[in-house]
Amino acid sequence: MSVPVLLELAVGRPIEGAGPDSPLVTDLSDAVRIAHVAEAAGVAGLRVLDAVPGFEVLDPTVVVAFLAGRTSALGYLADVPTSHHAPYNLARRILSIDRATDGRAGLVLRPGEGDEVTGAVVPDASAVDPKERWCEYAEILRRLWDSFPAEALVGDQESGIFVRDELIRPAGFDGRFYRVAGAIDGPSSVQGRPVQVAAVTDAAEIACVVGHADAVIVDIAAAPLADAALTTELERRGRTRAEVALLGRIQVPPGIDADWLHEQVTRQSLDGLVLTLNGSTHELRTLIETTVSRLVAPRSTRSLREALGLPPAATGVGAGREGAA
């Protein structure tokens, strides 16, 4: 049985001593080589990290756009915090990458504090909870990505109809942290909308994110409770377990065995793995060629959503709104 696998890395340079558990940070040329090896092996995608202690890293959305232009099947997730990114601008940027890559993009949205830009216009000055901010932000992304369906773009010269504006719906979000009125300015991608992922530290956090996430990343130590928590919370919200992929994150030690990794997927009821390596680019390429290649099959799908075993996106403004705080 093939297992969807994501690999973690960041692109940048060291500025001080990295911690013993720091994920791999490499330069852009090595990242391209890793992407090619990963694509050839059948890896579902790369998760490009935003902040690594001891390193100065490049903006993941820029790295993702660069790498995606040099591959044809590999998916990409950009780690992005809610801080320092206006929801509309981020939604437009990720959707642009998704459309340019034929549906191979998504993001891991991370909770963040406020910043000087959003803080100046926050509707409710008493709103400070990062998790509540995350929920609002995640809902806005979904509303914006659903606001301009692909079928609304007609471009028919004979009839003179460029776009069916009755199909374009405003996001119309008015929350404690954000207000976003209009629709996005371009149509959805071939996968409906970019894949939205939440990374949680334990099963208890699943209740906060499950209303919005297409996939949830949980550390392998917390995985034994995660499947039951995810199933229960999805059923409570009228969703099914098949709608959300549960991905176990594993810090990979040297010489790890593919059979052991596969056993974790089966035992913990996981839908896939996120592997992070504290080592060199050579060690990561070796891991891909000798271990990951035994877990995955050659890619027969192009979109990241399909590679993760996810169903088509349920589009429509407010889809997933049941998860709002």
DSSP one-letter string for 1-65: ----EEEEEEEEEESSPPPTTPPPEE-HHHHHHHHHHHHHHT--EEEE-S--TTEEE--HHHHHH
| pLDDT for position 315 | 56
**CATH number reported for the structural domain that contains residue 208 in this entry:** 3.20.20.30
| pLDDT for position 217 | 97
Please state, in angstroms and rounded to a whole number, the distance separating the CA atoms of residues 251 and 284: 12
User: Could you give phi then psi for residue 169, rounded to 5 degrees?
Assistant: -120, 135
- Classify residue 277: in a domain, yes or no: yes
Q: Which amino acid is at 21?
A: D
| pLDDT for position 18 | 64
- Classify residue 273: in a domain, yes or no: yes
The vertex-128 CA angle with 123 and 131, nearest 5°, equals 110
- Classify residue 306: in a domain, yes or no: yes
The token pair that represents 292 in the structure block: 């990951």
Count how many Cα atoms sit within 13 Å of the Cα of residue 272 in the half-sphere of its side chain: 27
pLDDT digits (tens, 9 = 90+) for 1-10: 689 999 999 9
| pLDDT for position 248 | 97
- Classify residue 324: in a domain, yes or no: no
- Classify residue 135: in a domain, yes or no: yes
End-to-end C-alpha distance for the chain, whole angstroms: 38
- Classify residue 38: in a domain, yes or no: yes
Low-confidence ranges of the chain (pLDDT < 50): 316-325
- Classify residue 325: in a domain, yes or no: no
Rg (CA), the chain: 19
Please state, in angstroms and rounded to a whole number, the distance separating the CA atoms of residues 200 and 203: 7
Domain that holds residue 186: 5-316
- Classify residue 323: in a domain, yes or no: no
Is the full-model pTM beyond 0.85? yes
Q: How many domains does the chain have?
A: 1
User: Could you give phi then psi for residue 100, rounded to 5 degrees?
Assistant: -70, -25
